[in-house]
Amino acid sequence: MFSHTVTTFGSHQKHTLIHPKLKTQLSFVPECGGFLSALHLSCQNKSIHIMEGCNSYEEWKEDIYYKSAWLLPFPNRLKDGQYKFEGKNYQFPINDVGCHNALHGFVAGQKMKLQKVVLTPSYAEAILEYVYSGGLDYYPFPFHFQIKYLLLESQMLIELKITNSGNQTIPIGVGFHPYFQLSTPRVDGLQLQLPSCKRIEVGEKMIPTGRKTSYIDFEKNTSIGNTAFDTGFKATSIESDTHKIFLTDLKHNLQLTYFQDSAFPYFQLYIPPHRKSIAIEPMSCNIDAFNNGEGLTLLEKGKSWKGSFGVAISQPEAH
């Protein structure tokens, strides 16, 4: 039977959904943007720690990599922090100083509320909610954001819902920033396979040029080696509504399968300097979507947007 435990995280509470026998667990902190601090999934009767998180409140406060953070009302970058909507100009604060952009919206550090926890022998789920009243002058558009974390023995699924609670159509996008790892000390020793996709070409300030090019370097399982990523992609596969990315650890006979549904046609890959993990970031829209409109959701009054993604652990399929 899954259980729900609560421990301290600075002055806040960390919630953990855990099944001792299945060796699987998920930890999150609602008051720190609802971020995931740990994820363990079961494979071959072993608990596999597959996510790099922040282990303490102090580490979370100092984190510059947005580990497992929620990115709203836009993921990635907004050129010069500026956009125009329905004839009005808006200016987000510049928090990507090196490139003079706004980065990842404003929800990452906001307090969320835990609305519900469900515990069963085979799964556990937690529902979090963030209610934004529209109080910021650079984004005066109210919305409700709901997250469902669903934990099974060898899989985690995240379901999202965004509802326009204001009186006008709003521009909005969403992303997530998890860092995945397996049993190798560095991701260099892992193999990576991407879905059919195009690489989003960017300029010096990491803003799209408007050009997308075919990308086949990892169309089959290929060693990451010393490849550097801070790269956006648009999935182009049409045979399935689900886009999958595979990370394979041949030495330890493990495979991580990451998947996102058609509500997320974009993704970003990033390997931090320490190379202990790789960020696989679902994005509902392109980089700078408030300006280029690519994938941007224009959500009408009272309407909702839904999307989902997740990760599973298994043994690699034999070929």
Note whether 75 and 285 are within 8 A (CB): yes
**10-residue mean pLDDT series, the chain (319 residues):** 97 96 94 97 92 96 96 98 98 97 97 98 97 98 98 97 98 98 94 97 97 96 97 86 94 96 97 97 98 98 98 85
Class of 3-314 per CATH?
mainly beta
Q: Using the 8-state DSSP alphabet, how is residue 11 labeled?
A: T
Note whether 109 and 66 are within 8 A (CB): no
Q: What is the pLDDT of residue 142?
A: 98
Instruction: Give the other-Cβ count within 10 Å of 2's Cβ.
Output: 23
Sheet holding 3-9, edge to edge: 3-9, 12-19, 24-29, 35-43, 46-49
Write down the domain spans for the chain: 3-314
Q: What is the pLDDT of residue 23?
A: 84
Q: Phi/psi at 291 (nearest 5 deg)?
A: -105, -45
Q: What is the pLDDT of residue 45?
A: 87
